[in-house]
Structure 1
Amino acid sequence: AIGANSPTLFGHTLWHETRIPLFKQSIDTRHADRYRWREPARVNFGQGWVRRGAGELFQEVARIYPPLLPICAAQSPAWEMARGQTPSLAELRLHQSTVWLWNRPIYDDADGGHLRIEMRTLPAGPTAIDMVANAAFLLGLAEGVRPRIDEILPAIPFNIAEYNFYRAAQHGLDAGLVWPEFGQSGCREQPVCAIIEQLLPVASQGLAMIGVSVDESARYLGVIERRLQRRQTGAIWQRNMLARLKQKMPLDAALHQLLEVFIDYSAENLPVAEWQI
């Protein structure tokens, strides 16, 4: 919601983060039949909370989705490990590349092998500083809630988290999300802006826990806070700017002018909250 930046498609004003439903729909080749079961979409939010480790996610992908490209590597992982090599797991990596979870685990054998999380939910742009701020907020939150994760997960059922994800993408800062009342039972719908305001200190604490300096944390979380104060994300700016331009010129010309102004502001690396309409 706070980072939404793709509100238009082919001249139509759609979701605040239209990239989310567009990618999901464009990759979905399943046949719709209400009388038969459907395998999970290859672009999805996931099947449930991870309880034991990233291995669960690799197992799900391997067991739920049939391979699209049944290509086998020349050498087996056992052969590679017997010779002191990092296993390439080429078949697994190829299969992973055909399933697009919004938070996707990635194994890579480069530099001795490593595991990373591909946070595909993060929008691109509109400026470099906005993207760093988005990442800082997300990573800070991930670290900040970690000490309380055993309390938080039971309070937010996975289907509610998925519901919140799509409502935030659809409505941006106007979204109402289902959020738990910590300290008591039950959830209720709350404005996303109020939730973000509550979570900013948590993100700050999380960044401090991983060694980010106070000044650097304040700089990037300040970008998020300013968006919240001005109620202006990349999506909101584009919507408002396009509406103003359409009063003066045809839609095609307005879209062209919108892009020109967007490029100029982006090149200045000015946070989107400071962009003028």
Structure 2
Amino acid sequence: MGQEVDAQEFTGADRTRHREKVRRCLDVFERMLREAAFDTDDPMTGLEVELNLVDEVGDPALRNNEALEAIADPDFQTELGRFNVEINVPPATLREGGLEGFEAGLRRSLNEAERRSAEIGAHLVMIGILPTLADAHLSLDAISDNPRYRLLSDQVLRARGEDISIDISGAEVLRTTADSILPEAACTSTQFHVQTPPERFAAYWNASQAIAGVQLALAANSPYLLGKQLWRETRVPLFEQATDTRSEELKAQGVRPRVWFGERWITSVFDLFEENVRFFPALLPVTDDEDPLTVLEAGGTPNLSELRLHNGTIYRWNRPVYDIAGGRPHLRVENRALAAGPTVVDIVANAAFYFGLVRSLAESERPLWSQMSFSAAEENFHIAARDGIEAEVYWPGVGRVRATELVLRRLLPLAREGLVAWGVASETIERYLGIIEGRCLSHTNGAEWFIRRMADREDSDRYDAIRAVLAEYRERMHANAPVHTW
């Protein structure tokens, strides 16, 4: 969820001062893009996974503080809900065994974390939405102790002026309201990071947007919310609605949502930061004492804290990231489209497909986005979230096509080419992309598997059936066999 913020009240003067500082940061960032030496020598990739905590029967365990104390690993951090934690995997270069390193490191860390947290009755589950969540788990009492989260919730509700409304129609219909942003905590994701030089950022972001729908179709893993079967990737409409600061009137006026696919292809990373500043008021108007221009002109690297904090409260599915490592600035695309799980090997296969395909498309002589409207990419994204692995998407030169057929015929070869360009070993490429191929051939991902297993228990009480299927899911998750083989 980003950097920590102390609990506080904000005045009108605070907001005015913060707006001025954000715009000053934006001006300095624009100058840095022209003049500064960004770290581009050996691009890194990264991985984050958000997790759920459950008790012995599979119900949410509201014990993330105790779990983190038991795990005692700085790679694990708190998240919005008391039934959430997050793990940040150390970044790596793909040409030096990065994919295998991600799998081995993530498995090792999760196995040890599970061993320790199980001692206090909290077990880890990687799934996009914990299906055993009930209304009581989405009340303000379930928010994590970090003051940032309660402050963020207060600011979203204050900006909205009314309770949050959740209205999702899928196989079944869910309509409910919430007096906090806790429904957002139900959404647990996998995030991929790819570092890019400033002059190539637009290509990598555009490519990431273009393939987001296909990613979702292949990896949907959130079919149930509050006991109801909804979309294959219910995370998408839930996240869009749970952090919406707009009243119905503002929606009618065309005000942009804070969970945003975007509205156009870009030509520079500056386009995204400038849009964030121009379109969205600050939710957390915290201002520090750094003068970014003074730091830059003195030969230093400004933190741009206000710009980064503001950027962290606009939830693009592909987010631009400015960061500093070893005193040097760098840029990353943060791909946030996918759910967590089902297994570590499935997550790394998703990473291999993303890293390979995005590189191949971004480095293509004829950009895909020159042949495809932005609205078509957005429509693909929502269709894939609704229909999952059975989705039909639009693709240039093909028209409407099953996502699985598109992947098998066109995108897997491109992903292979991209991974070769990254320097990934051929046996590694075949292992991970073979998992993607297997999903396409079997028409099975996490969402489909869960729905089929629920259908076998249709005569049972709904929550009893969900608990039983989740218990089987957890067992298979630990075995680490790809979901299409379940």
Q: Tell me the equivalent position of 2:425.
A: 213
Matched, 1:268 2:479: yes
Q: Tell me the equivalent position of 2:316.
A: 101
Match of 2:407 among 185, 191, 196: 196
Matched, 1:170 2:386: yes
The CA deviation at 1:201 is 0.7
Q: Tell me the equivalent position of 1:227.
A: 439
Alignment of 1:177-192 (within 5 A): 177-181=393-397, 188-192=399-403
Q: 1:132 to 1:35 in 2, by over 3 A?
A: closer
Q: Tell me the equivalent position of 1:158.
A: 374
The CA deviation at 1:34 is 8.2
Matched, 1:31 2:242: no
CA distance in structure 2 between the aligned counterparts of 1:204 and 1:99, rounded to whole angstroms: 33
Instruction: Kindly indicate whether the alpha-carbon contact (under 8 Å) linking 2:404 and 2:440 is maintained by their aligned counterparts in 1.
Output: yes
Q: Tell me the equivalent position of 2:353.
A: 137
The CA deviation at 1:149 is 5.7
The CA deviation at 1:36 is 5.0
Length-normalised TM-score, structure 1: 0.92
Q: Tell me the equivalent position of 2:105.
A: none
Instruction: Kindly indicate whether the alpha-carbon contact (under 8 Å) linking 2:361 and 2:367 is maintained by their aligned counterparts in 1.
Output: no
The CA deviation at 1:81 is 2.4
Instruction: Kindly indicate whether the alpha-carbon contact (under 8 Å) linking 2:404 and 2:441 is maintained by their aligned counterparts in 1.
Output: no
Partner of 1:109, secondary structure, is: strand
Aligned identity (percent) is: 40
CA distance in structure 1 between the aligned counterparts of 2:248 and 2:269, rounded to whole angstroms: 31
Instruction: Kindly indicate whether the alpha-carbon contact (under 8 Å) linking 2:341 and 2:347 is maintained by their aligned counterparts in 1.
Output: yes
Matched, 1:127 2:343: yes
Partner of 1:117, secondary structure, is: strand
Q: Tell me the equivalent position of 2:49.
A: none
Instruction: Kindly indicate whether the alpha-carbon contact (under 8 Å) linking 2:405 and 2:440 is maintained by their aligned counterparts in 1.
Output: no
The CA deviation at 1:72 is 1.6
CA distance in structure 1 between the aligned counterparts of 2:251 and 2:379, rounded to whole angstroms: 24
Q: Which amino acid aligns with 2:361?
A: V
Q: Which amino acid aligns with 1:189?
A: R
Of structures 1 and 2, the one with the larger relative CO (CA 8 A, separation 6+) is 1
| Structure 1, unaligned runs of 5 or more | 182-186
CA distance in structure 2 between the aligned counterparts of 1:135 and 1:151, rounded to whole angstroms: 22
The CA deviation at 1:84 is 3.5
The CA deviation at 1:179 is 1.6
The CA deviation at 1:35 is 9.3
Q: Tell me the equivalent position of 2:227.
A: 11
Q: Tell me the equivalent position of 1:184.
A: none
Instruction: Kindly indicate whether the alpha-carbon contact (under 8 Å) linking 2:222 and 2:234 is maintained by their aligned counterparts in 1.
Output: yes
Q: Tell me the equivalent position of 1:111.
A: 326
Q: 1:73 to 1:269 in 2, by over 3 A?
A: same
CA deviation digits over 1:101-150, x for unaligned, max 9?
A: 00001111242222111110122100111001011101111111234363
Partner of 1:107, secondary structure, is: strand
The two structures, once aligned, show a CA RMSD in angstroms of 1.6
Partner of 1:121, secondary structure, is: strand
Q: Tell me the equivalent position of 1:20.
A: 236
Q: 1:224 to 1:119 in 2, by over 3 A?
A: same
Q: Which amino acid aligns with 1:3?
A: A
CA distance in structure 1 between the aligned counterparts of 2:389 and 2:285, rounded to whole angstroms: 43
Partner of 2:247, secondary structure, is: coil
Q: Which amino acid aligns with 1:208?
A: V
Partner of 2:274, secondary structure, is: helix
Instruction: Kindly indicate whether the alpha-carbon contact (under 8 Å) linking 2:218 and 2:436 is maintained by their aligned counterparts in 1.
Output: yes
Q: Tell me the equivalent position of 2:3.
A: none
CA distance in structure 2 between the aligned counterparts of 1:34 and 1:82, rounded to whole angstroms: 41
Q: 1:35 to 1:221 in 2, by over 3 A?
A: closer
CA distance in structure 2 between the aligned counterparts of 1:202 and 1:75, rounded to whole angstroms: 45
| Structure 2, unaligned runs of 5 or more | 1-216
CA distance in structure 1 between the aligned counterparts of 2:437 and 2:311, rounded to whole angstroms: 36
Match of 1:46 among 244, 250, 262: 262
